[in-house]
Structure 1
Amino acid sequence: MNCKLRNCIQAAVSGLVLTLLMFDPGNAQSQKRDHLTEKEVDLIREVQEIDKRIEVFVKAADRRLLVLTDPNAIQKKKEEEIWGPLPSGSKLELLQDYKRILEEAEEKLDDSLNHDSKNPLLDKAFKAFVEACKRHIPELKAHSSKLTEKREQRALAEALAEAETVAKASNGK
């Protein structure tokens, strides 16, 4: 490949990346953000049973909703020792984190189902996940009138849709 062609390709790729960043600059930044805290990641790694893993994901999602509802929330010392400090972030980031937590939990359930569909803990994990999402739906809906920015409203709609998808999954089971 000659230098002129290589330079044209590099310029085109660079232009495409810049265009994508210009149209959604927040998304590029949000992709760098981890949706789980270090302590939550450690807890997920420590527990191998699917029901316990789902409990960690549910608690992580609960923590995002707690901070979203009350940015000044505090937790008990013992809870902080186990879970680490409450997550931080803007409303937009907390909602995006919440959605990504649900998506990761779904992936873990799916992986577990594909690996060992007869695992008796799968049903327990699935029920706990569905019940948590059903509990989260009214909490999420309560935020709709409080969010004024379009990106926050979109993130809320996506988080709510994810929770509703999980809640509806119990009908198909």
Structure 2
Amino acid sequence: MNCKLRNCIQAAVSGLVLTLLMSDPGNAQSQKRDHLTEKEVDLIREVQEIDKRIEVFVKAADRRLLVLTDPNAIQKKKEEEIWGPLPSGSKLELLQDYKKILEEAEEKLDDSLNHDSKNPLLDKAFKAFVEACKRHIPELKAHSSKLTEKREQRALAEALAEAETVAKASNGK
């Protein structure tokens, strides 16, 4: 990874982490809920390479959007063996979980960057994360007319803002 690209990634990830630190911590109820399922936590612990870890975070975020879009969604048996049951929760909880998943992925990227900025897998992980967030933005926007409660609308706005922040981070390259 060349120096200019590394500096760009470092600046983008640092900006994302700053956004995370300045974000609203939410209410006490949302802080008690774990944003990842047990199986997802296990998968994150199992993989040490940053690109594989980001893949797990992206899949976890995808799963929240799937359930948000189709509460009756089902998954293949093999996928359930690997990932566990689909996440559950209200629209509000799924949106809050989605945002927290993105924030945790940002933290992992930042930690990896600070630990080993020359890691060739960082660029791959960053690109995969940005592309996933770009893919998620239209999915999130499609829910704006379906949410009637103010808390759900706010959670959607925050989730969308987080995805857009990540997507825009690639513009500096």
TM-score, scaled to structure 2: 0.85
Instruction: Compute the displacement of 1:98 (Å).
Output: 0.1
Which structure's relative contact order is higher, taking Cα pairs within 8 Å and 6+ residues apart?
A: 2
Distance 1:18 1:27, change over 3 A: farther
Asked whether the 8 Å contact 1:134–1:164 carries over to 2, the reply is: yes
Distance 1:121 1:89, change over 3 A: same
Distance 1:79 1:8, change over 3 A: closer
What CA deviation, in whole Å up to 9, does each residue of 1:117-150 have, x standing for no partner?
Answer: 0000000000000000000000000000000000
Asked whether the 8 Å contact 1:102–1:163 carries over to 2, the reply is: yes
Instruction: Compute the displacement of 1:2 (Å).
Output: 63
What CA deviation, in whole Å up to 9, does each residue of 1:38-94 have, x standing for no partner?
Answer: 000000000000000000000000000000000000000000000000000000000
Output aligned runs, 1:82-161, within 5 Å.
82-161=82-161
Asked whether the 8 Å contact 1:50–1:121 carries over to 2, the reply is: yes
Give 3-state SS (helix, strand or coil) of 2:126's partner: helix
What CA deviation, in whole Å up to 9, does each residue of 1:23-47 have, x standing for no partner?
Answer: 9998211110000000000000000
Larger radius of gyration: 1
Give 3-state SS (helix, strand or coil) of 2:26's partner: helix
- More displaced stretch, 25-34 vs 62-71: 25-34
Pairwise CA RMSD: 12.9
Residue 169 of structure 2 aligns with which residue? 169
Asked whether the 8 Å contact 1:36–1:60 carries over to 2, the reply is: yes
Asked whether the 8 Å contact 2:17–2:103 carries over to 1, the reply is: no
Distance 1:99 1:6, change over 3 A: closer
- Please identify runs of 4+ aligned residues in structure 1 that moved more than 6 A: 1-26
* Partner Cα distance (2:32, 2:127) in 1: 31
Instruction: Compute the displacement of 1:5 (Å).
Output: 57
Runs (5+) with no aligned partner, structure 1:
none
Asked whether the 8 Å contact 1:21–1:28 carries over to 2, the reply is: no
Q: In percent, how many aligned pairs have the same letter? A: 99
- More displaced stretch, 10-19 vs 25-34: 10-19
Give 3-state SS (helix, strand or coil) of 2:27's partner: helix
- More displaced stretch, 85-94 vs 10-19: 10-19
Runs (5+) with no aligned partner, structure 2:
none
Give 3-state SS (helix, strand or coil) of 2:168's partner: helix
Instruction: Compute the displacement of 1:16 (Å).
Output: 31
Instruction: Compute the displacement of 1:9 (Å).
Output: 47
Paired residues, number: 173
* Partner Cα distance (1:171, 1:10) in 2: 13
